[in-house]
């Protein structure tokens, strides 16, 4: 019933706890202090008592873990569960959410020091990764068929992911474009807006005219355009807005235009 | 003792589920759940960091030996930043990730598992480590670090805060990886492999992971306390008298007894390499298992916090310092006995045997010096002996990790790393590390202080510091050479490596090189001893299954 691993660690735990109690009493512990972790009475020398008791607790936890897993022996597990065989574990599929979670954690760490807004961005990334990771973990074990699991996962998450991703992408593009428009000169802003419209319409026209065009090509074009706009937006945001013309109003109600942005 | 009264007819399902397909391309590297790919990322990154930190250590040593003329860092404060970066970096950014990488790659195969436990957590660990390491290093280079000798100014406070959160992130990532490794050993062993039959490297990683999980959260608590002091109120550390308190609160991580915790896998590597070379079973395997456990016990150091209370004359501190010698001697004795009992090959020993012996010599030097350090009459507290012990332990661990890289290279890259490269790199490491560590330990007997940046004027100490710097220089050269050899091998797979070029005894050597995605095409046969490949044809006679 009890595995050798359990017996070893349980015995070790009992020995360490006993040693902690004896050590506690022999170094000045009083009443029942060493027996009840100092709840009533002293435990004697703190360092030695805590070390021995801590190790005893850890050994006890390992013993419990080992008996739970039946020393990792599928035969013993199967016997314990009263079945002929234990179902093998389904391998975890590749996932990019752990990397997103890591970037989220790093963003939070930097945001903790730099600015609360950065921290919130990291927190949002971590929250998204946690939700996606949880759903993936659930879907991986939903049925015995990985293809069905993937379809099930997509059915649950796609109605949320696609609109959310679209909204985020649109928001980022609008934000980046607005930074460029605010940074560029008056004429430059017009040219940029025109170019952006041409690119969007061009890609749309291309796709409409040749619906069998490679998806990779379309995705590549959109990626290049998107990265260019975002990079331009970041540079523009760092550089700041251009100086805008101000309208000074005189006491008689007449307005003077000052043209600062040439 | 039989744990199952009647064994089920078929305990493991015949058809294991489909494994993740082999992946290619950048996206597959960042999203992989294959433990071998994750392990390779750990190993490559930590080897690059190893070279960087040994070069940094060389400059720190040169600055210390000739502070008046070298002036690499431009002042006491910068020297202190680099000195602390070297110390904490060698442990947290080099030694631990190197062992974690090896274990992530090798341990699942050693215990007969198709993958590591919690593979996605293993993936998040490696990426969190990379980002945390980046934050830590960059923040130190822009003026952060773990304190400032001349008092923390307002500008420095932000950079120091970044260093603290980066360090915390690195430790958190390492702990997640340790959980994955420990869980693999505890819960994913193949049938018949009880804990006494677990290969010594896997067992040493279980012990090391347990000790890290027990102690490193204390370091995170220290970092939180420092962060709160730094950010939460008036600039406590602005006073030069108090600014050194930042590093002092976490210095226990790189001092006795905690420093030994990072060398626990050294014993496992030695215990894996020597029996394979001797082509015989490990002598007194059960005793070796116990010795690794005892060394782990002697390495628990979260309780020893000299900043908060001086425990250096405490009976537990002295006892741990003396106790650490016993298991190291035990493992070395067992290994020598195995070599003596085994075959005596006439050809030149492979590079990994050189490495195992180098690691053993350095670790013994470290624990012997550590035992002298805790004996009060020698009065080594606060002296350069602490640096010497640190360097001996760390480079013992580096030697063992590189030994592991050479030994398990067929499983890492699919081919063999050139033996001559390994011999040169590991023997250079042994010579350099002995010079580096021993010189500081001896200087400690002449009362050379631990943090040193002035001419001592001593006819003994000054030459010793120069010798120590020369040792550091040798190590850096050897590590550059080792990384070059490894990368060349990594790029050009040697098809002649085969599944088991060393006649290894544990299950990873039953798999082709490089291993397939799910490791085992067929579930391994029931394990009946600690050397399953030696007795794969023998029947299970002892009945101790579970």
Q: Which domains does chain B have, with CATH numbers?
A: 30-510 (1.20.210.10)
Helix A116-140 and helix A97-113, axial crossing angle in degrees, nearest 10: 160
pLDDT of B203 reads: 96
- B509 Cβ neighbours under 8 A, 6+ residues apart: B499, B500, B502, B503, B533
CA distance linking residue B526 with residue B247, whole number of Å: 51
User: Which residues share a beta bridge with A258?
Assistant: A246
Rounded Cα gap, residues B92 and B78, in angstroms:
20
Q: What is the CA radius of gyration of chain B?
A: 23
Query: Which of A15, A72, A76, A88 to substitute to test the interface with B, most B CBs within 10 Å?
Result: A72
Last residue of a domain, one of A81, A102, A128: A81
* Chosen domain end from A81, A97, A113: A81
Q: Is residue A52 part of a domain?
A: yes
Q: Among A222-226, B145-149, B241-245, where is mean pLDDT lowest?
A: B241-245
Residue B14 has pLDDT above 50, yes or no: no
Measured CA to CA, the distance from residue A175 to residue A30 in angstroms comes to 69
Measured between beta carbons, the chain A residues lying within 8 angstroms of B32 are: 94
The pLDDT score that the predictor gives to residue B207 is: 95
Instruction: Name residue, tokens 């190197």.
Output: B98
Instruction: Tell me whether the omega of the peptide bond preceding residue B379 falls within 30 degrees of 0, making it cis.
Output: no
CA distance A262 to A242: 10
Mean pLDDT in residue range A110-135? 91
Q: Which of A43, A62, A81 is at the close of a domain?
A: A81
Cis check for the bond before A74: say yes or no (omega within 30 of 0): no
Q: Which helix (H) or strand (E) holds A246?
A: strand A246-249
Stretch among A69-73, B369-373, B473-477 having the lowest mean pLDDT: A69-73
Does some domain include residue A184? yes
Instruction: Work out how many domains chain A is built from and give that number.
Output: 2
Residue among B119, B120, B209 with most chain A CBs within 10 A, to mutate: B120
Using a CB-CB cut-off of 8 Å, the residues of chain B touching A96 are 27, 30-31
In a domain, A157, yes or no: no
Handedness of CA B36, B38, B43, B44 (dihedral sign): positive
β-partners of residue B449 are B383
What lies within 8 Å, CB to CB, of B14 at 6+ separation is: none
The nearest alpha carbon in chain B to A1 belongs to B3
Q: Are B194 and A3 an interchain contact pair (Cβ–Cβ within 8 Å)?
A: yes
- State which residue of chain A sits closest to B526, comparing Cα positions: A73
- The model's confidence at residue B12, banded by pLDDT at 50, 70 and 90, is very low
Has residue B366 got a pLDDT over 90? Answer: yes
Q: Which residues of A touch B156 (CB under 8 A)?
A: none
pLDDT tens digit sequence for A109-118 = 999 988 898 9
Say which DSSP state A256 is in. Answer: E
Q: What is the 3-state secondary structure (H, E, C) of B352-417?
A: HHHHHHHHHHHHHHHHHHHHHHHCHHHCCCCECHHHHHHHHHHHHHHHHHHHHHHHCHHHHCCCCC
Partner-chain contact A87 B6, CB within 8 Å: no
Pairwise CA distance, residues B229 & B238, whole Å: 11
pLDDT at B254 over 90: yes
- Say whether pLDDT at B528 is over 50: yes
Under a CB-based contact definition with an 8 Å cutoff, are residues B317 and B373 in contact? Answer: no
| Distance of alpha carbon B180 from alpha carbon B122, whole angstroms | 6
Q: What is the pLDDT of residue B3?
A: 37
The alpha-carbon gap from B510 to the nearest alpha carbon of chain A, in Å, equals 20
pLDDT digits (tens, 9 = 90+) for B55-90: 999 999 888 887 766 677 778 888 888 999 999 999
pLDDT of B425 above 90:
no
Four-point Cα dihedral B308, B313, B314, B315, nearest 10: 160
- In degrees rounded to 5, what are phi and psi of residue B378? -75, -20
Range of the domain at A29: 4-81
- Are A125 and A111 a contacting pair, CB within 8 Å? no
- The Cα–Cα gap between B104 and B519 comes to 13
Q: Mean pLDDT over residues B26-43, rounded?
A: 88
Nearest Cα of chain B lies from the Cα of A248 at a distance, in angstroms, of 41
Mutate to test the interface with B, among A86, A98, A139 (most CBs of B within 10 A): A98
Q: What is the mean pLDDT of residues B21-36?
A: 75
CB B77 within 8 A of CB B148: yes
Task: Look at residue A45 and tell me whether its pLDDT is greater than 90.
Answer: no
DSSP B92: I
Percentage of chain B exceeding pLDDT 70: 89
Which candidate, B445, B467, B459, places its Cα nearest to that of B385?
A: B445
- Sort out which chain B residues have CB atoms less than 8 A from A91's CB and list them: 17-20, 33, 114-115, 518
What percentage of chain A has pLDDT greater than the value 70?
84
**Residue that wins the pLDDT comparison between B236 and B283:** B283
**pLDDT tens digit sequence for A6-28:** 888 889 899 999 999 999 888 88
Q: Which two tokens stand for residue A163?
A: 């609109």
**Rounded mean pLDDT of B246-265?**
92
**Per-residue model confidence as pLDDT tens digits over A250-262:** 666 665 555 544 4
Handedness of CA B263, B267, B272, B276 (dihedral sign): positive
Q: Is residue A220 part of a domain?
A: yes
């Amino acid at each position: 019933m009890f595995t050798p691993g359990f017996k070893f660690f349980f015995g070790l735990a009992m020995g360490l706890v006993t040693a902690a109690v004896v050590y506690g009493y022999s170094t000045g512990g009083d009443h029942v202090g060493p027996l009840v972790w100092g709840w009533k009475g002293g435990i004697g020398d703190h360092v030695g008592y805590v070390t021995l008791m801590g190790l005893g607790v850890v050994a006890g936890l390992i013993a419990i873990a080992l008996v739970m897993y039946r020393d990792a022996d599928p035969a013993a597990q199967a016997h314990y569960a009263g079945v002929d065989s234990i179902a093998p574990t389904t391998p975890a599929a590749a996932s990019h959410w752990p990397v997103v979670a890591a970037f989220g954690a790093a963003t939070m760490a930097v945001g903790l020091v730099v600015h609360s807004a950065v921290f919130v961005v990291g927190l949002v990334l971590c929250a998204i990764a946690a939700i996606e990771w949880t759903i993936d973990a659930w879907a991986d074990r939903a049925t015995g068929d990985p293809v069905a699991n993937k379809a099930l996962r997509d059915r649950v998450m796609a109605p949320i992911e696609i609109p959310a991703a679209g909204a985020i992408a649109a928001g980022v593009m609008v934000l980046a474009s607005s930074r460029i428009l605010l940074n560029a000169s008056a004429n430059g802003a017009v040219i940029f807006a025109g170019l952006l419209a041409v690119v969007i319409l061009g890609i749309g026209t291309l796709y409409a005219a040749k619906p069998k065009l490679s998806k990779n090509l379309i995705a590549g074009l959109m990626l290049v355009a998107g990265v260019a706009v975002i990079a331009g937006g970041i540079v523009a945001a760092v550089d700041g807005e251009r100086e805008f013309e101000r309208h000074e109003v005189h006491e008689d109600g007449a307005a003077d235009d000052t043209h600062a942005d040439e | 003792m039989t744990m199952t009264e009647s064994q089920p007819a078929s305990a493991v399902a015949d058809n294991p589920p489909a494994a993740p397909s082999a992946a290619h391309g950048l996206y597959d590297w960042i999203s992989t759940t294959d433990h071998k790919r994750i392990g390779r990322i750990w190993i490559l990154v930590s080897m690059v960091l190893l070279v960087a930190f040994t070069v940094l250590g060389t400059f720190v040593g040169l600055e210390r030996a000739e502070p008046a003329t070298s002036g690499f860092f431009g002042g006491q404060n910068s020297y202190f930043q680099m000195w602390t970066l070297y110390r904490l970096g060698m442990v947290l950014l080099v030694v631990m990730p190197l062992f974690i990488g090896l274990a992530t790659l090798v341990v699942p195969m050693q215990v007969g598992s198709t993958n590591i436990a919690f593979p996605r957590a293993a993936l998040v660990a490696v990426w969190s480590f990379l980002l945390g390491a980046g934050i830590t290093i960059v923040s130190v280079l822009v003026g952060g670090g773990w304190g400032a000798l001349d008092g923390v100014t307002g500008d420095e406070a932000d950079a120091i805060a970044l260093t603290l959160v980066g360090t915390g992130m690195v430790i958190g990532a390492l702990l997640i990886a340790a959980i994955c490794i420990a869980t693999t050993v505890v819960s994913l062993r193949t049938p018949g492999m009880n804990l006494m039959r677990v290969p010594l490297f896997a067992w040493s990683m279980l012990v090391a992971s347990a000790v890290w999980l027990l102690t490193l959260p204390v370091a995170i608590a220290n970092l939180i306390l420092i962060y709160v002091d730094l950010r939460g109120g008036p600039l406590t550390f602005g006073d030069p008298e108090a600014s050194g308190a930042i590093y002092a609160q976490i210095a226990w991580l790189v001092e006795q007894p905690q420093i030994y915790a990072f060398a626990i896998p050294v014993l496992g590597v030695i215990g894996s390499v020597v029996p394979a070379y001797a082509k015989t079973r490990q002598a007194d395997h059960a005793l070796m298992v116990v010795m690794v456990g005892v060394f782990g016990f002697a390495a628990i150091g979260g309780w020893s916090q000299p900043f908060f209370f001086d425990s250096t004359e405490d009976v537990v501190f002295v006892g741990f310092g003396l106790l650490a010698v016993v298991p190291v001697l035990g493992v070395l004795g067992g290994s020598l006995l195995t070599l003596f009992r085994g075959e005596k090959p006439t050809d030149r020993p492979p590079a990994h045997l050189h490495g195992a012996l180098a690691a053993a010599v350095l670790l013994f030097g470290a624990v012997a010096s550590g035992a002298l350090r805790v004996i009060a009459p020698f009065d080594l507290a606060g002296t350069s002996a602490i640096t010497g012990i640190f360097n001996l332990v760390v480079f013992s661990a580096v030697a063992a990790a590189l030994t592991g890289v050479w030994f398990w290279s067929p499983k890492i890259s699919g081919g063999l790393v050139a033996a001559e490269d390994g011999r040169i790199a590991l023997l250079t490491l042994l010579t350099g590390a002995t010079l580096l560590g021993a010189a500081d330990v001896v200087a400690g007997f002449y009362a050379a202080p631990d943090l040193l940046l002035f001419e001592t004027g001593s006819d003994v100490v000054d030459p010793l510091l120069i010798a120590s710097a020369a040792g550091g220089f040798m190590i850096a050269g050897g590590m550059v050479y080792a990384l070059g050899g490894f990368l060349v091998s990594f790029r050009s797979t040697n098809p002649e490596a085969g599944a088991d070029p060393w006649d290894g005894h544990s299950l990873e050597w039953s798999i082709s090189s490089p291993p397939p995605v799910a490791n085992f095409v067929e579930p391994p046969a029931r394990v009946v001893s600690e050397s399953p490949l030696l007795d794969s044809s023998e029947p299970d006679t002892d009945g101790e299954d579970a």
